[in-house]
Every structure is written in C-alpha cells, then in structure tokens.
C-alpha cells in the first residue's frame, strides 16, 4: 500500500464542480493529497439522500461536469474513489419505472427485492422484526404497478431507495455495467456502499451474515475483473470487520474514532493500544465522514463483547452532547431496536469542543497508524456543526456536510488547524520512514508511542491523552532531527 493520503468530499460542497476539484487537487492548495473519494456525482447528486439515490448511476450529473472531468483528474495523477451503490436504486430509475410500467415484460423483472422474494411462504412477526435496519420502522414500501398489482418492495434505507435482488441475473448485469462505467471513467477504487445489508436471509438479522460475506466475494471478483480496487463500507462489530478484511482490498477502521474519543475523555490509552495490536492493516483510517462519527463499531454486539462496553459508548455520546452544547444529541437519530444512536452526527472538531490540540492529537494518531488515511473535507477545514443546514433539511447528518463558497474555503484553508493538518499530510505522504515498518506500544496509562522505521529514517509520535499533548519527531537518513509538539509548529510545515 502506498503512503499517500486521500480526501473525502462532495464535489459541489468543496470545489463547486469537478473542474474546481481538479484545480484544488492537481496543482492547488490540496495537491498534497494523492487521491480523493468523490461522494456520489451521478444523476442527480442532490437527491433525497445526497446522491446515494441516483436515478442514473452511470452518468455524471452535467451540473458538475462529465466523465471527461473524472478522467482528467485521474490523468493529473489523482487516484479517484467512487461509490458502487450495491444495495438499492432510485424509485425514479429507468429500471424500476419500467418494471412498474410493464411488470413481467420488463427486462428489469426480478431485479428488485419484494416481500415474496424473501418470504415465498409468508412470514411471522418475529421473522420480520429480526431484520437489522439503520432507520426507524420496517424495511418495506408498497408500490402499485400499471396493471394495478400492488407489491411490497424492500426499502432498507428510504421509501425511494428500492433494494436490489443482488442474486438475480438482471441485478448482476446492472452492477457489472456500473462497474465497467466507473473504470472506463477514470475511477481506480470502488467503495461498496451499504453492502452489509444487501443479502436478506430469513432466520437471521440479515446483516453481515455468512451469506453477506459470500456476496462480498462475488462482487469483489466482478470489480477486480474490471481493474478496480475494492473498498468495503460496513459499520459492524470489530470481529466482523476482521472477517471481511481478507476478502477485499480495503476496509474502514471505524473503531479508531470512538476509541480516540474514549481515550481523550477518560485519559486512559489502554483500549486504543489494544486496538492498534489487533486491527486490520489494510484499512482506510478516518475520524469522521459524511455519515457522522461511527460509535457502534467499537461496541458489543449480541453476546460478543466490544472494545468498549455499552456504558462506555453511552459516555461518548454524553460527552459529545456536553461539548457541542446539545447539538450532537439533537442531530443524532436512534435507529430501530437500538439502545443508542448509530453514530454521532457532528463534526469531529465540534465533538472535541474545538480544542485544537486534542484535535491534532487525534489526527496525528490517524495519520500514523498503518493503512490509507482519509480526511473528510469538513474535518480538514476544521468545520463546526452547521445547525442551519440541519434546521433547513431536518437531516441530522447535514450538520457535518457544510457547503463552502469560495470565500469560506479560502479562509478555512488559511486557518492554523487546517494548515497543521496539511503539514501532517505532507509529512505522512513524503517522509521515507512511512514506507518502512510500524510499531506501537503503550508507555504509560495515558501514553502511546507510534513508530515508523525505514533504515535510518524514522518518524515517532508520542501522545498523552490525559493532558492532552503530542510530539512528532522525525529523523532523516543524514541524522538530522525535527520535532513538532504544537499546532503552530505543524502549521509551519504546510
């Protein structure tokens, strides 16, 4: 795995359009990033689920640009990641509307998951309520076809997001077509969005089962056949992440953010140190994303103990609410059958009470652990909670999806916390030590030491989560040593 750092962003909310993104990354202020995950840029990018409900998954929304713009970004040396929305299509898609109009005569007949597909012999209440769903309510929506027949269609996320029967030939042909389009358009890594929900198996909760893992093997093979690297997106128990990691090229380390929050809140580094010993190495590391800050990934699941227990998870939510003045509690929705919300809807900077030192400590840890570091654009720009967007949309995740106009972007890029992060990104991307061997050790109850060594080149991070404090020390092959232990000193690197 190369040592580059990637950005995660909505095209329109950061650069305005794809040409603006290329200007920022190819030779602009964000050229230190080696790649970018462009959140859905398909038609339309601004649907009910912010692009994750495309009507046309194979076409770039012309308001943002075209496939030529994606290829130009790739030709400029920027690795592009894009989403394959595996679980569903839009109710307004050509495939679904054709099935509603023509039924069995449609080429899309069988492509969509109905109640009868999963329960051909009917189902009891217990069968239906056993399914895990990341939203309130049940995962079905009634639709009426043109011939008057009413069908109960699976809609795991929203009523307008129609689940695919991923084992049906029509659905598989659809997924192959999208994968081929992505590769031909200049995409190098495909993220399998919501794949954990894609296979429904009666008698289970249908989330990350053995049948799900088998489908992950199948869709990964299809993606690799098109020349794509595969990143899987699953919020799940840490053992389930470990199980899926060998099947794909990349997984997310969603346990790292809550463990960092726990450590900074309690002043205890033991749980974090333990995770650094057992985590998958082929991970994309994050602090926050467009979906908020995952917490359940570090917690228990059923009879399986977590890296944190239920009370410790609850304490993270409580501390976040305290430091955000109640904003995170207001914006974080509790899902069906769950004791706690699925994630914290807040920016990471806000959750830390806008403490720049604690924030850079967390960012240092993220950029030092093995894997592919990925910075979310709002996090890079030290964004705080956008409660106006939340009030306007009613969507909790919008607190962490700010739209930056050019003036705001320029001001944010000039901010000390942003420049400090850019300095860290440059160090992680360019220093030879990060191409070597990694080691981590706990040096005290609240202290960790993370080391990269490549011959005479070394990079050492020491953190004390109780203070909080951090020191980054790098040594070059010529013996020269540099030390950074403040936000200002890291900012001077940018």
| Cβ(341)–Cβ(134) below 8 Å | no
- Is 485 among the domain residues? yes
Provide the CATH number for the domain around residue 237.
Answer: 3.20.20.80
pLDDT tens figures, 243-262: 999 999 999 999 999 999 99
Last-in-domain residue among 387, 406, 432: 432
Please give the pLDDT value at position 435: 97
Q: Quick one: 103 and 240 in the same domain?
A: no
DSSP state of 398: G
Structure confidence at residue 484 (pLDDT): 98
Tens digit of pLDDT for each residue in 22-79? 999 998 999 999 999 999 999 999 998 999 999 999 999 999 999 999 999 999 999 9
**Radius of gyration for the chain, computed over Cα atoms and rounded to the nearest angstrom:** 22
CATH code where residue 150 lies: 3.90.400.10
Q: Which of 136, 61, 57 is nearest to 90 (CA)?
A: 57
Listed residues 138, 163, 188: the one ending a domain: 163
| Domain that includes residue 404, residue range | 6-87+169-432
Residue 193 designated active-site: yes
- On whether both 114 and 77 belong to a single domain, the answer is no
Tell me: pLDDT of 337 over 70.
no
| Same domain membership, residue 271 and residue 182 | yes
Residue 55 placed within a domain:
yes
pLDDT digits (tens, 9 = 90+) for 77-120: 999 999 999 999 999 999 999 999 999 999 999 999 999 999 99
Indicate whether 426 and 443 sit together in one domain: no
- Claim to verify: residue 396 and residue 272 sit in the same structural domain: yes
Asked whether 442 and 448 are in contact (CB, 8 A), the reply is yes
Same domain membership, residue 368 and residue 303: yes
User: What pLDDT, on a 0 to 100 scale, did the predictor assign at position 236?
Assistant: 86
Is pTM beyond 0.75? Reply is yes
Same domain, 488 and 362: no
Q: What is the pLDDT of residue 301?
A: 86
- Position 19 in a domain: yes
* Cα gap 131→201, rounded to integer Å: 9
Question: Using one digit for the tens of pLDDT, what is the confidence trace for 443-488?
Answer: 999 999 999 999 999 999 999 999 999 999 999 999 999 999 999 9
The predicted structure's pLDDT at residue 230: 98
Co-location of 70 and 193 in the same domain: yes
Same domain, 243 and 315: yes
Q: Which residues contact 147 (CB under 8 A, 6 or more apart)?
A: 103
Over residues 98-107, the pLDDT tens digits come to 999 999 999 9
Specify if 66 maps to a domain.
yes
How far is the C-alpha of 125 from the C-alpha of 136, rounded, in Å? 16
pLDDT at 211 over 90: yes
- Decide if 449 is catalytic: no
Residue 302 confidence class, pLDDT cut points 50, 70, 90: confident
Same domain for 110 and 81: no
Q: Is the pLDDT of residue 272 over 70?
A: yes
Same domain, yes or no: 383 and 453: no
Query: Do 356 and 410 share a structural domain?
Result: yes
On the question of pLDDT at 3 being above 90, the answer is: no
Give the active site residue among 69, 95, 165, 233: 233
When the pLDDT of each residue in the chain is averaged and rounded to a whole number, the result is 95
Of residues 12, 53, 83, 193, which has the active-site annotation?
193
pLDDT, residue 173, reads 97
Q: How many domains does the chain have?
A: 3
Rounded Cα–Cα distance for residues 349 and 380 (Å) = 10
Residue 1 lies in a domain: no
Q: Where are the alpha helices (DSSP H) in 82-131?
A: 94-102, 115-118, 125-129
DSSP state of 298: G
Helix (H) or strand (E) holding 57: strand 56-60
Number of Cβ atoms within 10 Å of the Cβ of 321: 18
């Amino acid at each position: 795995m190369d040592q580059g750092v990637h950005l995660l962003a909505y095209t329109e909310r950061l650069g305005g359009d794809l040409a603006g993104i290329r200007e920022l990354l190819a030779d602009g202020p964000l050229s230190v990033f080696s790649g970018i995950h462009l959140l859905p840029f398909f038609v339309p990018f601004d649907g009910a689920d912010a692009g994750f409900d495309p009507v046309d998954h194979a076409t770039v929304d012309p308001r943002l640009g075209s496939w030529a713009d994606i290829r130009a970004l790739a030709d400029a040396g920027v690795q592009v990641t894009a989403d394959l929305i595996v679980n569903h299509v839009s109710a307004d898609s050509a495939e679904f509307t054709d099935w509603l109009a023509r039924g069995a005569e449609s080429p899309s007949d069988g492509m969509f998951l109905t109640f009868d597909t999963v329960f051909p012999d009917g189902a009891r209440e217990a069968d239906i309520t056993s399914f895990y769903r990341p939203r309130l309510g049940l995962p079905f929506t009634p639709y009426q076809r043109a011939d008057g027949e009413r069908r109960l269609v699976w809609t795991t996320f929203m009523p307008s997001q129609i689940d695919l029967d991923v084992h049906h030939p029509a659905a598989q042909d659809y997924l192959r077509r999208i994968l081929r389009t992505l590769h031909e358009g200049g995409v190098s890594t495909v993220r399998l969005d919501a794949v954990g929900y894609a296979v429904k198996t009666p008698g289970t909760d249908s989330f990350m089962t053995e049948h799900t893992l088998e489908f992950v093997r199948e869709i990964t093979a299809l993606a690799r056949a098109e020349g794509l690297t595969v990143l899987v997106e699953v919020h799940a128990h840490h053992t389930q992440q470990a199980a899926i990691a060998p099947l794909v090229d990349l997984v997310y380390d969603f346990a790292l953010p809550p463990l960092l929050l726990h450590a900074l809140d309690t002043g205890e580094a033991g749980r974090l140190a333990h995770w650094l010993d057992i985590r998958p190495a082929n991970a994309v590391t994050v602090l926050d994303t467009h979906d908020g800050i995952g917490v359940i990934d570090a917690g228990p699941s059923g009879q399986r103990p977590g890296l944190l227990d239920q009370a410790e998870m609850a304490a993270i939510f409580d501390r976040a609410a305290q430091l955000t003045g109640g904003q995170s509690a207001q914006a974080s929705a509790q899902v069906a059958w769950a004791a706690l919300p699925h994630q914290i809807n807040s920016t990471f900077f806000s959750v830390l009470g806008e403490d720049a030192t604690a924030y850079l400590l967390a960012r240092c840890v993220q950029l030092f652990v093995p894997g592919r570091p990925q910075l979310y654009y709002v996090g890079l720009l030290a964004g705080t909670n956008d409660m106006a967007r939340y009030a306007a949309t009613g969507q909790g995740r919008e607190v962490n999806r700010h739209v930056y106009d050019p003036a705001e972007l320029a001001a944010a890029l000039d901010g000390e916390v942003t420049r400090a992060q850019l300095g860290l990104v440059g160090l992680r991307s360019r220093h030879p030590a990060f191409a070597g061997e990694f080691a981590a050790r706990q040096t005290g109850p609240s202290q960790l030491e993370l080391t990269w060594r490549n011959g005479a080149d070394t990079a050492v991070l020491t953190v004390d989560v109780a203070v909080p404090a951090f020191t980054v020390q790098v040594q070059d092959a010529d013996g020269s040593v540099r030390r950074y232990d403040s936000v200002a000193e890291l900012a001077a690197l940018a």
